């Protein structure tokens, strides 16, 4: 698989919530809410309190992608600054950066250093992202291992009562009482640790994004998952992305914005959207 195709696929996966929003959806039927309202509320408050409090995350990354029977794996760098930026740099042989995906509060940058081209598109210019209230803060919550409520930059203790809680096999499953009209959000949390173990976003038309977390490590007085697995189903070819992190730190000595060389060709936003929706280059 060409590196350019892999970069586009990685961006597709991280924007999967937006793809789901393009389809009609409804909240799937589930178990009845628990009747232990007080203890459930306390559990939700605990989950919210467990969210990482660090301002920055900086780590070495092993990025793997599986599309049907095709596999791809490469090293790289993983960097985030709260409420500011998320950067995924794909680095071959430990020294050559082939590409970069950068999410800021206003836009997404996809940089292809191999073919000297890039895409820069604002969230507000992507209709299905705007209508579904999927923005930087939604993506940030997924990468930061936090709960999500549509339209809110952060879920705080004040929103704890906005979740229904059911119990399944030793876990507490949270669902937003007033979710997005097109998407259903489901959060699997540990009754023992209070950690968020999986976020699931699904549509009634059969698309599901599962973002699972594991191998939690200490980070600035909290726990952060050093392993993240993203599964997108409902396409003709299932897609799975994994991110394994090591040497995780909280330093901020890195550039939070990528400077694009004038030698790079910009691809239009329309072409970018067409690429995501039709996925012709991926054969999906």
Q: Which long-range contacts (C-beta less than 8 Å, at least 24 apart) are formed by 228-232?
A: 228/143, 230/13, 230/14, 230/16, 232/12, 232/13, 232/16, 232/207, 232/208
pLDDT above 90 as % of the chain: 38
Q: Which residue bears the tokens 């691809």? A: 267
Angle between the N-to-C axes of helices 3-14 and 269-278, in degrees from 0 to 180, rounded to the nearest 10: 80
Who wins on pLDDT, 55 or 28? Answer: 55
- 235 by Cβ neighbours in 10 Å (0-12 / 13-18 / 19+) ranks as middle
Question: Domain coordinates of the chain in residue numbers?
Answer: 3-282
Cα 48 to Cα 270: distance, rounded to the nearest angstrom = 38
Q: When comparing pLDDT for 183 and 27, which is higher?
A: 183
Homologous superfamily of domain range 3-282? Lipoprotein localisation LolA/LolB/LppX (2.50.20.10)
Is residue 242 scored above 90 in pLDDT? yes
Q: Where is 91: in which H helix or E strand?
A: strand 85-92
pLDDT at 93 over 70: no
Q: How far is CA 96 from CA 62, 76, 77, in A?
A: 14, 9, 11
CB count within 10 Å of CB 157 equals 10
Residue 275: pLDDT over 80: no
Radius of gyration of the chain measured on its C-alpha atoms? 18
162 by Cβ neighbours in 10 Å (0-12 / 13-18 / 19+) ranks as middle
What is the predicted pLDDT for the residue at 29? 41
Q: What is the mean pLDDT of the chain?
A: 79
Q: Can you give the pLDDT at residue 282?
A: 39
Q: For residue 161, report the phi and psi dihedrals to the nearest 5 degrees.
A: -75, -5
94 pLDDT band (50/70/90 cuts)?
A: low
Q: In the chain, helix, strand, coil percent, each to 5? A: 25, 40, 35
**What stretch of H or E contains 7?**
helix 3-14
pLDDT digits (tens, 9 = 90+) for 196-210: 999 998 876 677 889
Polymer length of the chain: 284
d(CA 196, CA 71): 28
Task: Give the mean model confidence (pLDDT) for residues 52-77.
Answer: 87
């Amino acid at each position: 698989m060409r590196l350019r195709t892999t970069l586009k696929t990685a961006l597709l996966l991280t924007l999967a919530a937006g793809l789901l929003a393009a389809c009609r959806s409804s909240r799937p039927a589930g178990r009845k809410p628990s009747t232990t309202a007080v203890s459930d509320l306390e559990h939700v408050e605990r989950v919210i309190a467990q969210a990482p409090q660090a301002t920055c995350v900086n780590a070495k990354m092993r990025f793997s992608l599986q599309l049907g029977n095709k596999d791809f794996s490469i090293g790289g760098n993983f960097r985030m600054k709260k409420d500011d930026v998320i950067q995924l740099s794909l680095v071959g042989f430990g020294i050559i950066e082939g590409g970069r995906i950068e999410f800021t509060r206003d836009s997404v940058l996809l940089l292809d250093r191999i073919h000297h081209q890039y895409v820069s598109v604002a969230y507000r210019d992507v209709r299905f992202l705007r209508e579904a209230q999927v923005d930087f803060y939604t993506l940030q919550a997924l990468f930061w291992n936090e709960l999500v409520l549509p339209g809110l930059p952060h879920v705080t203790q004040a929103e704890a009562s906005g979740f229904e809680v059911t119990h399944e096999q030793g876990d507490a499953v949270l669902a937003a009482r007033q979710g997005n009209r097109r998407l259903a959000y489901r959060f699997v949390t540990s009754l023992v640790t209070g950690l968020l173990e999986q976020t699931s976003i699904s549509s009634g038309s059969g698309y599901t994004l599962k973002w699972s977390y594991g191998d939690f490590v200490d980070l600035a007085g909290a726990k952060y998952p050093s392993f993240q697995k993203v599964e997108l189903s409902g396409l003709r070819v299932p897609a799975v992305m994994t991110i394994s992190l090591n040497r995780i730190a909280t330093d901020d000595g890195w550039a939070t914005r990528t400077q694009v060389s004038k030698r790079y060709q910009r691809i239009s936003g329309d072409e970018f959207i067409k690429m995501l929706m039709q996925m012709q280059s991926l054969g999906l």
